[in-house]
Amino acid sequence: MTAPQAEAVIDLDAFGANLEALAACAPSSAQMTVVKADAYGHGMVPMARAARAAGTDWLGVATLAEALALRESGDTGDLLCWLAAPGADYAAAVEADVEVTASSTDQLAEILAAAPRRPRVQLKVDTGLSRNGALGREWTALVAAAAAAQAAGRVEVTGVWSHFACADEPAHPANDAQEAVFVAAVDELTAAGIEPGLRHLCNSPATLTRPSAHFDMVRVGIAAYGIRPDPGMTYETPLTPVLTLRGRLAQVKRIPAGAKVSYGQTWTAERDTTVGLVPLGYGEGIAVSASNRAEVLAAGARVPLVGRVCMDQFVVDLGERSARRGDAVVLFGPGHDGEPTAEDWATASGTIAYEVVTRLGGRIVRTYEGGA
């Protein structure tokens, strides 16, 4: 079989080891593996199956469409989704045994009106992120509405949750403040006669560094894929990036000193040199902002990306290294063999590693290795 010219190789053994290490951080809590946004670019269905095989208790997705796609793939385990605009297909979600989130009284009313039977609903409280979730008086109103609906047998409240804003900065005072607001919100729910069910507040960084907030379940996202939530974070838990992005040289040629490379001619060869053409570009999610800044592993060394990233391709400066058409190029991976990491590409692109992996697509072929 001919090797693809753009390939993301996902190490399922590393993924399973990451989940095991994260579970050890919160041994008394259930674990939710977040597979939203196509599992952060790793492929939602294969990663969901691998997470289940590794023993994760729950899967988490953002949208109803993602949840239903998992059900259509054969997944039957506990599954929560949390982001929906008005008019979402709650009926299909309830029929598929997907737990949905209510972040306001209006949303709860819409879920109840659409559900063909009693839905299982988790309530989200805004503890300080100021995104989704009910805040202050809105939370009190949502609790009252949920209590009335549950007393009438119209809903089963199965959990209460929120999301940290600054957990990737463990010493940030917002973390203590949010945890306190969350505890108070749970107490308000209990006082209204609702058993809170699963209480969950921790994302990846809080799972790694904030045991006081582990509660009944932790949600692991980017850390499950082996990427640090923030490059400045330190923790003892061993995590390995599971995705390696590879390409192959489509052309290798000599260019003279003074030759200019790619659109806008933003790079000029200072000497006679060899350049290689890598057939990935912003059509595959390679950021234009990485132009003249990122590096790849090619011809046995890290070499610079030169000139502007194009839709389908970019150029690297191989210098005097020996290379041929078809030779492998590694854009990023775990870093074990000297290749750049997704964090390196994030720095070069002026973004975060979450975005580097999540935006991968286009003509990239995903290959899965290892796993149960």
Q: Which residues participate in catalysis according to the annotation?
A: 36, 263
Give φ, ψ of 11 to 5 degrees. Answer: -90, 100
Contact 149, 155 (CB under 8 A): yes
| 146/122 Cα distance (integer angstroms) | 10
Q: Is the dihedral of CA 281, 285, 288, 294 positive or negative?
A: negative
Query: Euclidean distance between the first and final Cα of the chain, in Å?
Result: 24
Assign residue 56 a region: left if phi > 0, alpha if psi is -120 to 50, beta otherwise?
Answer: beta
Residue labelled with tokens 């078809």: 326
Q: State the Cα torsion 228-229-235-241 to the nearest 10°.
A: -20
| 324/304 Cα distance (integer angstroms) | 17
Pairing of strands 328-332, 314-319: unpaired
CA atoms within 13 A on the CB side of 126: 16
